[in-house]
Amino acid sequence: MKAVIQRVTHASVTIEGEQVASIQQGVLVLLGIVNEDAQEDINWLSNKIVNLRIFADENDVMNKSLSDIKGDIILVSQFTLHANTKKGNRPSYIKAAKPEVAIPLYETFIKQLENDLGKPIQTGQFGADMKVELLNDGPVTIIIDTKNKE
């Protein structure tokens, strides 16, 4: 699993002109899934996202986590995170998991994030053409790949 985590002051997802998700302070997470991903990746990444100390404390030092500030999450599936751009100018997405593999993992990841955060999260819609709007706070953007844990 690969995730792009962006600290936001607000974010939203719109599909076909209808807003389907909206948060204030928290993180927008773009998630890419490959065939090799498993429950271990879900558990590790969810815990990492909820506990990343990327929010300012009283001394304006990034020392607080999403759970510390009781922030929110919007999770958006994004297969293009696994684009291969080595050859030519047209990216290849062959590494991205097909929907029959990715959807169950995505849905399990949602439940794990909610469990780890202790409250419901907002999501986009898997496979939809989404318009994602955000105000990146900082900017703070972290990229995590569960295949590079060590």
**Residue-wise over 38-51: b if at least 16 C-beta within 10 A, else e?**
eeebbbebbebbbe
**Distance, C-alpha 46 to centroid of its chain:** 9
Q: Is there a catalytic annotation at residue 85?
A: no
The active-site residue, picked from 6, 55, 78, 122, is 78
Taking phi first (over 0 means left), then psi (-120 to 50 degrees means alpha), and beta for anything else, what does residue 70 get? left
Q: Is 109 designated active site?
A: no
CA distance 29 to 40: 18
Q: Which of 55, 79, 109, 112 is catalytic?
A: 79
Query: Encoding tokens for residue 67?
Result: 């759970």
The C-alpha atoms of residue 25 and residue 52 are separated, in whole angstroms, by 15
Residue 9 among the catalytic residues: no
Closest CA to 62 of 141, 125, 127: 141
Q: Is 31 helix (H, G, I), strand (E, B) or coil?
A: strand
Name the active-site residue from 9, 19, 24, 80.
80
The residues that are catalytic are 78-80
